Amino acid sequence: KNLVENAQLLAKATRAAATELGLELFAPKSPAASVTAVKAPPGMDSSVIVKEFRNRFGSVIANGQGSMKGQIFRIAHLGYFDFADLFSVIAELELILAANNYPVKFGAGVAAVQNVYAEAALPHAVAV
């Protein structure tokens, strides 16, 4: 699959997962395919989320920059990044949110990613 199509599909899946987890997208009307920016839950600094990804899981996501630092976190979709990575990142996000007292139904975000993947790569699959 080419790089742009892969990034677009990963971005679609990431947006679906964030929405399923009750998180707000930073740019819902004009999202980019290269990165998804997500607002931190109310009362939570996005720096905490970024640090927990690194400290708990050795994963790297980006904080907001400038005036958005502490308010959003960004998940990239380019480079050596595929659905296996995204399954992990979203599962990690669910755990990080829960550890910081944000209500999470474990697996909800991951299921959203799986549904996007299944629709694109397994057109005859039926989820139950």
Assigned token pair, 121: 């790569």
Q: Whole-angstrom Cα distance, residue 66 to residue 85? A: 28
DSSP 3-state assignment of 41?
A: coil
| pLDDT at 96 (0 to 100) | 98
The yes-or-no verdict on residue 127 having pLDDT over 70 is: no
Q: Which range among 9-13, 17-21, 65-69, 79-83 shows the weakest confidence by mean pLDDT?
A: 79-83
What percentage of residues in the chain have a pLDDT greater than 90? 79
* pLDDT tens string 82-123: 899 999 999 999 999 999 999 999 999 999 999 999 999 887
Residue 73 has pLDDT above 90, yes or no: yes
Q: Is the Cβ–Cβ distance between 62 and 50 less than 8 Å?
A: yes
Confidence band for 30, pLDDT divided at 50, 70 and 90: confident
Of the pLDDT bands very low, low, confident and very high (cuts 50, 70, 90), residue 65 is: very high
What is the helix, strand, coil percentage profile of the chain, to 5? 50, 10, 40
pLDDT for the residue 79: 80
Q: How many CA atoms lie within 13 A of 106 on its CB side?
A: 7
pLDDT tens per residue, range 43-56: 999 999 999 999 99
- Give the pLDDT score at 1: 55
